[in-house]
Amino acid sequence: MHRRSVATMLALLFLVPALSGCFGSEAKEEGTKEESHWLPPVEDRSDMIYRDDDVFSRVSTNGSYQIGEVRSVYVPVPAISAVDGGAGLTGGAEVHMGLWLPLIDGCDMDSESLGEECRVPIIAEIGPYYDDGDVDALTPADRLGRFLIENFVPHGFGVAQISVFGTGESNHCMDLMGDDEQEGIHAAVEYLGKAQFSNGNVGIIGKSYDGSTPWEAAAMGSSHLKTIVPMSGLIGVHDLMWRNGSMEARGAIMHNGVYGSFGLDGDLEDAQNACEGYMEGYYAGVGAYLTGDNLAWTGSDYWEERHFLTRAIQNYNGSVYIIHGLQDWNVDPHMAFPVHNMVRDAGMDVKGLYGQWGHDYPDRRSGHEGLSSGRGAEAFPYTLRWDWADDLLEWFEFYLKETGQQPRLIAEVQDNMGGWRVEETYPPIDSLWVPYGMDECSIIGGSDTITATSSLTIECPEFDTETRIAGTPTFHIEATISIFSTGGHLFVEMVQSSTGMHLGHAVMDLRFHEGGKEGGPLVPGSTVLAKMEFFGMDVVVPEGDGIQLIITQTGEDYVPSPSSVMPVSLSLGPQSVLTLHTLERGCSDLFLPPMQETYPQCP
């Protein structure tokens, strides 16, 4: 077996100049500039003690305000008109929220003439689950609402739980992140920003669907929206469900099959579900499955109106705190990378928290401890961030109350062995591109003709030093489709050679062999260079170990397109290259989160 050192290849590459110094050291020096700040830099929190007797994290210091009784609020949405159907025809479109405000001495929060000392910023969680698979909007939800109410209302914030259209007590149509839903969210943000009890600043936070509504709100561009905290959120629906033309199994039925029933609960408002977006949902998913694209060429704007990131960058003037699990295969990490750097390049204040957890919050033991090997198990219990509530309090105080010290605009990243470190951004800007030609690797199993039941396993040279792979490696492979087909489909899993442990994976419909969203039928028997990109990963391969690539027709929950059922023949010629994002980091770059023992790999 040949060994290969990353260091020996540097002379072959044009490298981006490395950042001077050590990130961890720079961060500590920066943090000492304001010794009076109540929250130490993340590198200096290892000795902090937090409550861990609840399902979520707690702020280190309780606030002084009592929590007021919940208010039930219905917000009119005048933007919904007859052309939208649903409540646009019956009249009175509105979204419903439960609202908790702090009790402030001398302040009647219902008064029309409140002084500045009585006005508070509002933190909102917006989604479809209140009274639909969860508690109603007037009951603190264990999903996130109770965490927000109990931690932040005593610190002088209001908290709102808001139902999107067609769910809970909101009427109109279940529009699955479409224009109608965005208008309802916008109306709620405007109400909360202009209310007599508000200081005018609104933040939105949530996970999954509730982590997508912050992006929806940002796309609408309200001047009252000052910060968003999307956790495992969608930057667009088609962006998630299709990757290089490959569809997740749920993609074709996400609107009407998965969420459409939320708008059908046996009451008189069920008829309001007969709106434009709901009707389009019947064909849009199936049509996109057949083509792999967003159907814009047919004149349909169904998927385009459900893409938020581009309009958010254009219209939003606030901060972004992205939180995403690197082992989240429900909302895959490409919803966060390269989004982090795109938002940063657009001039927004952006921070990231990227741990080796799944579709979960940073502080939920029950979700973290159940992960399997290669999918987060090796990083537990260091995945648990008991300082997360404090971290959010610092963020909300600065961006919603406009007080305190500005949070550091960094990315906190965890590798698959559990180690946390601070990066300036993510993927790191000083990563090195290291190419491996497939002629340097060896076939150790299977055949180079991939069928629905066969695979090909390739092993690349061992590393002679510990190697950290971070970001989105690429794999370009020559592929020849069948003479009986106009397309093909590939799935590549990267595993650790000695253990077979999952490190990362990539997927592609060969009609989209150039990558991205532009594709089309192929000529039967033609050969293409499939430019595959792995999902975001941050893994450590030990010295003396290596990686293997296992190539099949499909994997995870991706479904080959109708044109992809025939065999695909692969060539390991000179154009077939695996390129790794490598990063030189060691134990001196790692920080230890609170309430944890020393890392085993860094005694």
pLDDT digits (tens, 9 = 90+) for 124-177: 999 999 998 899 999 999 999 999 999 999 999 999 999 999 999 999 999 999
Residues 6 or more apart whose CB falls under 8 angstroms from that of 138 comprise: 70, 72, 98, 161
Instruction: Identify the burial level of 28 via C-beta atoms within 10 angstroms of its C-beta, where 0-12 means exposed, 13-18 middle and 19 or more buried.
Output: middle
Tokens at residue 343, please?
């938002």
Task: Answer yes or no: are the C-beta atoms of 326 and 236 closer than 8 Å.
Answer: no
73, β-bridge pairs: 97
307, β-bridge pairs: 236
Task: Name the DSSP class of 352.
Answer: E
CA-to-CA distance for 511 and 90, rounded, in angstroms? 45
pTM confidence score: 0.92
Instruction: Taking residues 224-249, report their average pLDDT.
Output: 96
Task: Answer yes or no: are the C-beta atoms of 216 and 242 closer than 8 Å.
Answer: no
Report the pLDDT value the prediction gives residue 267, as an integer from 0 to 100: 63
What percentage of residues in the chain have a pLDDT greater than 70? 93
Residues 6 or more apart whose CB falls under 8 angstroms from that of 467 comprise: 6, 540, 541, 580, 582
Q: What is the mean pLDDT of the chain?
A: 91
pLDDT digits (tens, 9 = 90+) for 34-57: 457 999 999 999 999 999 999 999
pLDDT digits (tens, 9 = 90+) for 193-230: 999 999 999 999 999 999 999 999 999 999 999 999 99
Instruction: Identify the burial level of 411 via C-beta atoms within 10 angstroms of its C-beta, where 0-12 means exposed, 13-18 middle and 19 or more buried.
Output: buried
3-state helix/strand/coil string of 230-282: EECCCCEHHHHHEECCEEECCHHHHHHHHHHHHHCCCCHHHHHHCEHHHHHHH
Residue 1 has pLDDT above 50, yes or no: no
Tokens at residue 531, please?
């430019």
Enumerate domains of the chain plus CATH numbers: 3-10+432-587 (2.60.120.260), 64-317 (3.40.50)
Cα dihedral across residues 360, 363, 367, 369: positive or negative: positive
**Reading across the β-sheet that carries 558-559, which strands appear in turn?**
242-243, 246-248, 558-559
Residues 6 or more apart whose CB falls under 8 angstroms from that of 473 comprise: 494, 504, 533, 534, 537, 578, 579, 580, 581
pLDDT digits (tens, 9 = 90+) for 498-541: 999 999 999 999 999 998 888 888 999 999 999 999 999 999 99
Question: Model confidence at 30, in pLDDT bands (50, 70, 90)?
Answer: very low
CA-to-CA distance for 217 and 187, rounded, in angstroms? 10
pLDDT digits (tens, 9 = 90+) for 481-506: 999 999 999 999 999 999 999 999 99
Q: How wide is the angle at C-alpha 197 spanned by C-alphas 195 and 202, nearest 5°?
A: 65
Instruction: Taking residues 5-10, report their average pLDDT.
Output: 38
| Continuous H helices in 52-172 | 87-90, 145-152
3-state helix/strand/coil string of 139-164: CCCCCCHHHHHHHHHHHCCEEEEEEC
Tokens at residue 136, please?
């109603």
Q: Which residue, chain included where needed, has tokens 């510990």?
A: 466
Q: Do strands 319-325 and 350-355 pair parallel, antiparallel, or not at all (unpaired)?
A: parallel
CA-to-CA distance for 85 and 165, rounded, in angstroms? 13
Residue 107 has pLDDT above 50, yes or no: yes
CA end-to-end span of the chain = 31
CA-to-CA distance for 546 and 464, rounded, in angstroms? 9
Residue 81 has pLDDT above 90, yes or no: yes
Residue 273 phi/psi, 5-degree rounding, is -70, -15
pLDDT digits (tens, 9 = 90+) for 554-602: 999 999 878 777 899 999 989 999 999 999 999 999 999 999 999 999 9
Report the pLDDT value the prediction gives residue 308, as an integer from 0 to 100: 98
